[in-house]
């Protein structure tokens, strides 16, 4: 499990040594390349890994799991549950949307900067290859995204060993350079980090925006916790990843002390010219694996957001018969690829992309810290002073890191923020639109029990088979049933009203999946419960109704679904452009029958118009 966790969880942060030191000492930051500054930067990176990754994420944040699941959506669901009865519910939900939006922005930058920085090793080998760096990067990325529909189960088993070789290589290169210049070990003293900040002042604050690149990938270890559990993630960090990263940064620092000219690209200059091509191959493999983790993460977050009602239904393909978490969402895949291509072509180099990368990572860290406060205070009921003190400590660090990266807003930092803002607008519009639709339906709803009592005073003709009507949570008589009675004037001999409940927990046990309530006159209410990671499969859920004495023959069951056509009005509850956006999303959302895996030849759709 530890080897597997290394491959999936730590690919992102593991590729940070490719570009971090190069960016810190970039000419634009104005940091002189002398012994004091090199010791200060390495010390700053080391203690950043200790405080932000080891203490905050690996030790503390991993405790804030939602029944074993981590990540921004799982944390948001947990925080929303914790403050459900307070006025914090909406702000927490909005903060979770912002975090999810930032995650999507981060998910675009990570593949771009990781692969591009790996391929840039070619121009270190010979400047003549520089024109081929961007085209080669694009070719690798396009191939990676085209393979997504095949799933990762086939190649996933190689991820861990490859990344393990990567970390071993980082360690060996680091030790080699440290041995040649052991004075770099003085950077273990945090006073060097403090001295660097105090002595360089504003320039150090600007350079801090590049130092934060060593901490990118922190969210990945939290998001992927559910795949492996806390113990392997923690064990992998403290025994393999953290030591390897430490040796790598100290080794690059030792190299710069001995050879300042290597600052052009410290990573690829560590062992000399002979090692560049093998390192390009290995680093490209590691970068592809790091990219795969963020791509898979984007699929998972999207699926969770759909289940929580933040995004419209999309086509979700399960690529593994054994692993429920291995999914592929075509729309997300191709939209993300388009954004990654724009990033690579638009920015052109890893140095330019670094400006965009830091702000997405630090903003996501900031969001996680705030959401975690609501969990430890309202869910765990920790003392207010303790909860506030712990949060304030990490919040101070996050705000400082975010502020330093925000300085690069005009130099590329705007890119992930634009993606985040777009995603938040989409999620908020979808959620608000669904609430308006639900409010409209509820306003005209006919109570089900009263309707059934009056209906069976003089019942319509009953025909053979089962009629199943989808019924929204808290809704009255389904519109599809009213339309069916109005036009066909018949009723099946057995009527089932089916309501799907989407919980804010990762998974609902199969034993708790369905509940059946008899309503009389061969009418039944069936409630189906799903968590945000569960696969929606209604026929499979109906099989579980046997325990309640209710059996279904799919060839004798008709599924009635009301297809709602949303009409935007000038008197609606949202801005007109948002209503039009919602109406467009609603029209293009995946239809309910397909999403719930209902047999298409057993579906009867009845249309209805709803004004918002």
Biggest alpha carbon–alpha carbon distance for the chain: 95
Determine the Cα–Cα distance for residues 164 and 47; give it in Å rounded to an integer: 23
Q: Which helix (H) or strand (E) holds 246?
A: helix 242-258
Q: Does domain 2-412 have CATH number 3.40.50.720?
A: no
Instruction: List per-block mean pLDDT (blocks of 10 residues) for the chain, which spans 612 residues.
Output: 78 88 87 93 96 92 80 86 83 90 88 89 82 92 88 68 92 95 95 94 89 86 76 90 96 94 89 86 88 83 86 83 69 94 91 83 90 88 88 93 88 88 93 85 82 89 92 82 86 93 86 92 93 88 91 91 77 80 87 86 81 72
Evaluate whether 104 touches 315 at the Cβ level (below 8 Å).
Answer: no
Q: Is 464 helix (H, G, I), strand (E, B) or coil?
A: strand
Q: Specify which residues 291 forms β-bridges with.
A: none
Q: How many CA atoms lie within 13 A of 219 on its CB side?
A: 33
pLDDT above 90 covers a percentage of the chain that reads 37
What is the pLDDT, as a whole number, of residue 382? 86
**Residues 371/71, Cβ–Cβ less than 8 Å:** no
DSSP conformation class of 461: E
- What's the length of the chain? 612
DSSP string of 146-193, one letter each residue: HTGGG-SHHHHHHHHHHHHHHHHHHHHHHHHHHHH-GGGGGGGSHHHH
Q: Which residues contact 546 (CB under 8 A, 6 or more apart)?
A: none
Q: Which residue has the tokens 């690798």?
A: 140
Extents of the domains making up the chain: 2-412, 441-611
Sign of CA dihedral 9, 13, 17, 22: positive
User: Hey, is 530 helix, strand or coil?
Assistant: strand
Q: 152-164 burial by CB neighbour count: b if 16+ within 10 A, else e?
A: beeebeebbebbb
Return the pLDDT at 323. Answer: 54
CB neighbourhood size of 461 (10 A): 8
pLDDT at residue 342 in the model: 94
d(CA 305, CA 47): 35
- Predicted TM-score of the model (pTM): 0.83
């Amino acid at each position: 499990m530890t080897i597997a966790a290394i491959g999936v969880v730590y690919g992102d942060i593991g590729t940070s040594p490719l570009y971090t030191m190069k960016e810190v000492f970039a000419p634009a930051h104005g940091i002189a390349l002398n012994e004091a500054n090199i010791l200060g930067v390495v010390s700053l990176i080391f203690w950043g890994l200790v405080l932000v990754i080891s203490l905050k994420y690996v030790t503390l944040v991993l405790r804030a799991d939602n029944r074993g699941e981590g990540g921004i959506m799982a944390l948001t669901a947990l925080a929303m549950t914790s403050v459900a009865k307070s006025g914090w519910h909406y702000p927490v939900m909005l903060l979770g949307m912002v975090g999810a939006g930032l995650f999507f922005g981060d998910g675009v930058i990570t593949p771009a900067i990781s692969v591009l920085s790996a391929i840039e090793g070619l121009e270190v080998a010979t400047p003549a290859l520089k024109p081929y760096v961007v085209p080669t990067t694009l070719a690798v990325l396009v191939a990676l995204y085209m393979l997504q529909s095949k799933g990762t189960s086939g190649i996933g088993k190689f991820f861990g060993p490859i990344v393990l070789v990567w970390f071993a290589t980082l360690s060996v290169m680091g030790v080699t350079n440290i041995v040649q210049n052991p004075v770099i070990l003085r950077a273990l003293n945090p006073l060097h980090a403090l001295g660097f900040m105090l002595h360089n002042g504003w320039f150090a604050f600007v350079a801090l925006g590049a130092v934060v690149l060593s901490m990118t990938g922190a969210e990945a270890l939290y998001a992927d916790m559910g795949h492996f559990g806390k113990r392997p993630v923690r064990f992998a960090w403290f025994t393999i990843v953290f030591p390897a990263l430490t040796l790598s940064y100290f080794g690059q620092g030792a190299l710069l002390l001995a050879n300042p000219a290597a600052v052009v690209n410290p990573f690829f200059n560590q062992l000399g010219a002979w090692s560049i091509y093998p390192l390009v191959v290995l680093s490209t493999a590691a970068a592809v694996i790091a990219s795969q983790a963020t791509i898979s993460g984007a699929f998972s977050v999207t699926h969770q957001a759909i289940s929580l009602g933040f995004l419209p239904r999309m086509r979700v393909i399960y690529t593994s018969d054994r692993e429920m978490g291995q999914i592929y969402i075509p729309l997300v895949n191709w939209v993300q690829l388009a954004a990654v291509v724009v990033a690579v072509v638009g920015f052109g180099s890893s140095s330019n992309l670094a400006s965009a990368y830091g702000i997405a990572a630090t903003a996501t860290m900031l969001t996680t810290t705030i959401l975690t406060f609501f969990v430890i205070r309202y869910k765990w009921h920790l003392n207010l002073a303790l909860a506030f003190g712990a949060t304030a400590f990490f919040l101070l660090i996050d705000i400082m890191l975010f502020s330093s990266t925000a300085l690069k807003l005009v130099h590329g930092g705007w890119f992930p923020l634009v993606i985040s803002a777009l995603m938040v607008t989409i999620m908020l519009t979808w959620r608000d639109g669904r609430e308006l639709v639900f409010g409209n339906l509820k306003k005209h709803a006919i109570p089900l029990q009263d309707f059934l009592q009056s209906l069976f005073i003089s019942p319509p003709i009953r025909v053979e088979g089962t009629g199943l009507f989808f019924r929204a949570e808290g809704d009255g008589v389904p519109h599809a049933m009213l339309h069916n009675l109005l036009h066909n004037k018949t009723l099946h001999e057995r009527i089932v009203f089916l309501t799907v409940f989407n919980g804010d927990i990762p998974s609902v046990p199969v034993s708790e999946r369905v509940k059946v309530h008899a309503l009389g006159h061969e009418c039944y209410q069936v409630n189906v419960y799903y968590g945000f990671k569960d696969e929606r499969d209604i026929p499979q859920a109906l099989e579980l109704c046997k325990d309640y004495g209710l059996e279904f023959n799919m060839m004798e069951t008709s599924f009635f679904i009301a297809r709602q056509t949303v009409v935007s009005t000038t008197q609606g509850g949202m801005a007109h452009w948002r209503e039009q956006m919602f109406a467009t999303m609603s029209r293009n959302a995946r239809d309910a029958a397909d999403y719930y895996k209902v047999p298409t030849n057993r579906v009867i759709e009845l249309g209805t118009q709803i004004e918002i």
